[in-house]
């Protein structure tokens, strides 16, 4: 089965997340970019984790363009960097509770400061920085109990791909909230990293802006992974548009 993306307008998808969170449904949302797509292409178990998600957003512009070229679908780009502030605004408006899981203590302290200053009516927000190692079963149960005790509607998970998606899938049915993998969106929101200007976002060059900020960490991901995506997408276009075969790389729901 191919990598599944949820087709939706931005505002409607935000509403879907809020609807899931309002009933304390144990669910998770994957914010998908090329990196996640190619991880899923190479690993069938990870692909199932993504495809089992309640919602899978088209974060990266390459995925938006893939939907357009393959299926003629005009899809909004629904990035984590735009979703996170939108969800926090909705949570503030509706009196919902949020929990941030992941990141360093320093990052979460800056997040707390940002929330207090930008979302002052968001009364209930909690934070936890897990150790950078595998948790024991006892520690994992303690984390589950800690999160559930705060009764969050939304749990923002900042562990990075694919770790955060695996964690959310393992927590479905255990954590009574809507979990959303926000990855690198959090440091951008709180000002630890800069976001690309609008013209770069609209011209699919946001990846290049991020590469300039973190060249060592992101070089392999962008130049190798993105090149592979272009290669597989070209094959997919031939399969779907010329030979009328079922897609193998990307589908939609």
What's the pTM value of the predicted model, to 2 decimals? 0.92
- Give which of 151, 198, 241, 204 is closest to 33, Cα–Cα: 204
**Which sequence spans correspond to the domains of the chain?**
3-202
Smallest CA-to-CA distance from 75 within 23, 13, 142 is with 13
Residues 99, 125 contacting (CB under 8 angstroms): yes
Burial per residue of 240-251, b for 16 or more beta-carbon CB atoms within 10 angstroms, e otherwise: beeeeeebebbb
Q: Which residues of 78-90 are buried (b: 16+ CB within 10 A; e: fewer)?
A: bbbbbbbebbbeb
Alpha-carbon distance 80 to 161, whole Å?
A: 12
Nearest to 177 by CA among 96, 81, 241: 96
Residue 95's CB is within 10 A of a number of other CB atoms, namely: 11
- pLDDT by 10s per residue, the chain, length 253: 799 999 999 999 999 999 999 988 899 999 999 999 999 999 999 999 999 999 999 998 899 999 999 999 999 999 999 999 999 999 999 999 999 999 999 999 999 999 999 999 998 999 999 988 888 999 999 999 999 999 999 999 999 999 999 999 999 999 999 999 998 899 999 988 777 788 777 766 777 777 777 777 777 777 888 899 999 999 999 999 999 999 999 999 9
């Amino acid at each position: 089965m191919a990598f599944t993306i949820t087709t939706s307008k931005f505002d409607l998808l935000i509403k879907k997340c809020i609807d899931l969170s309002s009933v304390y449904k144990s669910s998770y949302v994957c914010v998908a970019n090329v990196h996640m797509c190619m991880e899923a292409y190479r690993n069938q178990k990870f692909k199932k984790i993504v495809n089992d998600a309640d919602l899978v957003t088209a974060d990266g512009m390459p995925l938006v363009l893939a939907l357009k070229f393959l299926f003629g679908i005009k899809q909004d780009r629904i990035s984590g960097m735009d979703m996170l502030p939108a969800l926090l605004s909705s949570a503030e408006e509706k009196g919902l509770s949020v929990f941030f899981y992941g990141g360093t203590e320093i990052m979460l302290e800056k997040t707390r400061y940002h929330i207090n200053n930008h979302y002052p009516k968001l009364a209930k927000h909690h934070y936890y920085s897990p150790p950078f190692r595998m948790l024991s079963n006892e520690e994992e149960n303690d984390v589950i109990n800690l999160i559930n005790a705060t009764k969050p509607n939304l749990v923002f998970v900042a562990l990075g791909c694919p770790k955060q998606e695996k964690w959310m899938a393992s927590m479905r049915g255990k954590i009574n909230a809507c979990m959303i993998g926000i990855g690198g969106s959090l440091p951008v929101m709180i000002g630890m990293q800069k976001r690309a200007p609008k013209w770069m976002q609209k011209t699919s060059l946001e990846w290049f802006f991020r590469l300039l900020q973190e060249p060592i960490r992101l070089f392999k991901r962008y130049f190798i992974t993105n090149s592979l995506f272009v290669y597989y997408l070209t094959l997919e276009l031939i399969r779907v548009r010329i030979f009328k075969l079922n897609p193998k790389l990307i589908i939609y729901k």
